[in-house]
Amino acid sequence: MTDLEASKGRFPDPERLDGFPSLSHFIAEDTEGAIFLKFDRLSARNLLYLQSNLNELQARLGELDRIDAERGVHDSGVQLSAKAYSDLKAKARWYQEDRDAAMRKDDRTSAADDENATGADAFERVALHRQIKEAMRDYREALIQAREVMNFSPPSTRALSTLKRYFYTEKDKSALLGCDANLLDDPEDLIALVQSDNDRLSGLLRHTFGRCFSDRKRNPQPDLEIYFFSENRIQLASYIISIFFSGILLLGAMACLSILNNRSWKLRLGIVALFTSLFGVVIGLLTNARRAEVFASTAAYTAVLVVYVSSNLGPSAPGMNGV
């Protein structure tokens, strides 16, 4: 999907109103149009709040631990609860049952008893653990989701430009209103759910020759001069061009070496170096190969040429014409 020059107005769809219905349909027309906000600042704020909540719970748990450490010196029940979580839960349950029964009788006179105080501490600990468990789950889920969102790639310049062309027009203005009117104003906060093959050759074909691969049956916005092209055709053309260059560089090198078979070994070595350099340049410019991959492929290419000329790669034999 790509865009051209002018921006007039969105083509009215008789089956959908302009707004969310038409915008969602336009995005669904091509996977590259699936561009959305990632809300980085909001995500960071949410993580900070969840983190702060856990910090407060952790501080309260530390306070209860210090209180129990002081009381546990003379209270075997506190020592038992520190070693057996089942005992702690039983005390909390008994305290809750006694409290509920007292509330039904409207009797609060025994609330200060040591036994009730121990039960109240146990009840608070169990309730605190439940809060910690829920807060920890929410915090870690938010962390994992934030990491997954950060792994999404930003939208390509071409895809974002096309979506902006549809979203902002001279005639209809923004496709959405309210806070969503500036939905695409911050490119740094946008992600693309799908990324097409971004090797340099395919990118060159899309940007420069995209119209040649356009699908004539799909032109939903003629006024905006937005057209769709087949990604399969782009990839096919990319493969054909890659095979062509690979064949030319390999067969061309062999042909030149055959023609220069009776010439100086220095000249033939220079031809090998020249074609090896050309091969490395082509790999580096037309693909997204990493440095190690460029070295590996260039070394393999060089090995083929060396094997081809290995029998003659040396000082010129007597009777050969040197250069």
- 197-226 residue pLDDT tens: 667 777 777 777 766 776 666 555 555 566
Whole-number mean pLDDT of the chain? 79
Question: Given 3-state DSSP classes, what are the helix, strand and coil percentages for the chain, each rounded to the nearest 5?
Answer: 65, 5, 30
Give yes or no for a contact between 152 and 193, defined as CB atoms under 8 angstroms apart.
yes
Mean pLDDT comparison of 7-21, 112-126, 129-143, highest-scoring range: 129-143
pLDDT of residue 42: 94
Q: Which residue has the higher pLDDT, 179 or 263?
A: 179
Proportion of the chain above pLDDT 70, given as a percent = 78
Q: Which residue has the higher pLDDT, 80 or 127?
A: 127
pLDDT tier, 11 (very low <50, low <70, confident <90, very high otherwise) = low
For 54-86, the pLDDT digits (tens) are 999 999 999 988 888 887 767 777 788 778 878
pLDDT of residue 289: 78
| CA distances for 141 relative to 14, 43, 61, 177, 323, angstroms | 43, 12, 22, 32, 73
pLDDT of residue 7: 41
Q: What is the mean pLDDT of residues 17-38?
A: 85
Q: Which residue has the higher pLDDT, 242 or 14?
A: 242
Q: Considering the entire predicted model, what is its pTM?
A: 0.66
The C-alpha atoms of residue 198 and residue 188 are separated, in whole angstroms, by: 19
pLDDT of residue 215: 66
pLDDT of residue 316: 47
Of 86, 78, 98, 88, the closest CA to residue 122 belongs to 88
Q: Is the pLDDT of residue 317 over 60?
A: no
pLDDT of residue 239: 84
Q: Is the pLDDT of residue 144 over 70?
A: yes
Q: What kind and span of H or E run contains 27? A: helix 20-28
pLDDT of residue 217: 62
Proportion of the chain above pLDDT 90, given as a percent = 19
pLDDT of residue 313: 46
Q: Is the pLDDT of residue 297 over 90?
A: no
Q: What is the mean pLDDT of residues 293-310?
A: 83
Q: What is the mean pLDDT of residues 94-120?
A: 66
Q: Is the pLDDT of residue 315 over 80?
A: no
What is the phi/psi pair of residue 79, to 5°? -60, -40
pLDDT tier, 173 (very low <50, low <70, confident <90, very high otherwise) = confident
DSSP tag of 10:
P
